[in-house]
Amino acid sequence: YLVYQPIVELNTQRIVGFEALARMNSKEFGFVSPLEFIDIAERNQLIVPLSNYILRHACAYAAELVAMGYAHLRVAVNISAIHIMREDFTRDVLQIVKEAGIQGRNLELEVTESVLANNYNLINEKLRELMGEGINISLDDFGTGYSSFSRLRELNINTLKIDRSFIQSITDCNKDSLLTRDIVSIAQRLGLKTIAEGVEEQAHVDYLLEHGCDMCQGYLFSKPIPKEESIQLLKKHQGS
Ligand code: C2E
Ligand code: MG
Ligand code: MG
């Protein structure tokens, strides 16, 4: 099943979207981390049906939000490297968006740098096609993989998600805080939006606001929560 974590615009404090995060509660094994079961699914040919299932549910959730009048909200879905490499990936995504009756702008796909490590040109071309349909693309866990600045310039993405390892030590006025500031500034120069991940303290928000970061996501605002709870939060926060 899926839970949803709000993504908040820093200067207005408004919810601009939700990230869908997969959960598994097994009779046999209890709660299993998504890092673990996604990895197992990737090694057992189960990732494509699982990913399409997740995408369908996330898009149905986006359609519900749109029907409630939140037409501008985006639902972000994490995309596995194996799924995106499949020949029918783009077709599957566009079909699911169409079936859900949402616009491309209501969906965001999160890819990590490791996804781009192999077949960079092919994947970048798929991203271009999806962006052409209005779908947002974000680079997840930015700063932890093998990014080069030359690639960042030509990559078909809208948003950088700054990894939470940078954010957590932001307030110590150390190298991480300087790096965060500089990532935001490079993103701005490249015309990309920024989302800070793992925001847990008001001091993180203050620092990020001061340095022009666009959005944040983290326990300070809300943990990932079930659908009904996320809708309650939305209503409470910005009126229905
Ligand atoms: P991610 O995409 O970077 O997701 C963010 C992770 O950070 C989530 O962990 C979220 O619960 C956690 N998080 C959010 N705010 C905070 C905070 O303030 N502090 C701390 N310490 N953690 C925070 P989660 O849900 O355990 O997911 C872990 C990873 O598993 C995700 O990292 C993503 O790479 C993968 N994953 C989750 N759901 C899916 C999915 O549907 N498909 C695929 N392919 N991967 C998924
Ligand atoms: Mg993510
Ligand atoms: Mg991340």
Q: What is the pLDDT along the chain (240 residues), one digit of tens a residue?
A: 999 999 999 999 999 999 999 999 999 999 999 999 999 999 998 999 999 999 999 999 999 999 999 999 999 999 998 999 999 999 999 999 999 999 999 999 999 988 888 888 999 999 999 999 999 999 999 988 877 777 888 999 999 999 999 999 887 768 888 899 999 999 999 999 999 999 999 999 999 999 999 999 999 999 999 999 999 999 998 864
From 2, 21, 199, mutation site for ligand 1 pocket: most ligand atoms within 8 A of C-beta: 21
What does the alpha-carbon distance between residue 103 and residue 97 come to, in Å, rounded to a whole number?
Answer: 7
Using DSSP, state whether 7 is helix, strand or coil. Answer: strand
Asked if residue 34 has its Cβ within 6 Å of ligand 1, the reply is: yes
Asked if residue 2 has its Cβ within 6 Å of ligand 1, the reply is: no
pTM > 0.85: yes
What does the alpha-carbon distance between residue 192 and residue 3 come to, in Å, rounded to a whole number?
Answer: 27
Asked if residue 54 has its Cβ within 6 Å of ligand 1, the reply is: yes
| DSSP state letter for 100 | H
| DSSP state letter for 105 | G
What does the alpha-carbon distance between residue 26 and residue 140 come to, in Å, rounded to a whole number?
Answer: 27
